[in-house]
Amino acid sequence: GAGVSQSPSNKVTEKGKDVELRCDPISGHTALYWYRQSLGQGLEFLIYFQGNSAPDKSGLPSDRFSAERTGGSVSTLTIQRTQQEDSAVYLCASTVKVGELFFGEGSRLTVL
């Protein structure tokens, strides 16, 4: 595919359950970002991967959130023991040129 692919596009879960969100970046893109966007709000930075370097995790809101990027390509964002305030659209972006991000369509998470 030509663009950033995210799955699932929609996820409904119960409070306390764990969820995994997947991001397939554009082939060859060395940098990968995760953001989240609550309803009617702007984008909140979560985490940034660049090549094989240690990720910038400064935006992760709590230790329930974690992310990994395997083989410098696919990334998984994991939220443990989900809470209702975790409900949001989780957006992934990749780039090879600093600042020019290509975003996926997002994964909409609803925690009941």
Partner 1 sequence: DAKTTQPTSMDCAEGRAANLPCNHSTISGNEYVYWYRQIHSQGPQYIIHGLKNNETNEMASLIITEDRKSSTLILPHATLRDTAVYYCIVRVTPISGGYNKLIFGAGTRLAVHP
Beta-bridge partners for 90: 36, 107
Question: Three-class SS string for 47-61?
Answer: EEEECCCCCECCCCC
Minimum distance of partner 1 from residue 20's CB (angstroms): 19
CA dihedral defined by 74, 11, 104, 91, rounded to 10 degrees? -90
Is residue 23 within 8 Å of residue 82, measured between CB atoms? no
Minimum distance of partner 1 from residue 15's CB (angstroms): 25
Minimum distance of partner 1 from residue 59's CB (angstroms): 8
Minimum distance of partner 1 from residue 17's CB (angstroms): 25
- List residues near partner 1 by CB under 8 A: 4, 33, 35, 41-45, 48, 50, 53, 56, 91, 93, 98-106
Q: Which parts of 3-70 are beta strand (E)?
A: 5-7, 10-13, 19-24, 31-37, 44-50, 65-69
Cβ-based nearer residue to partner 1, 20 or 44 = 44
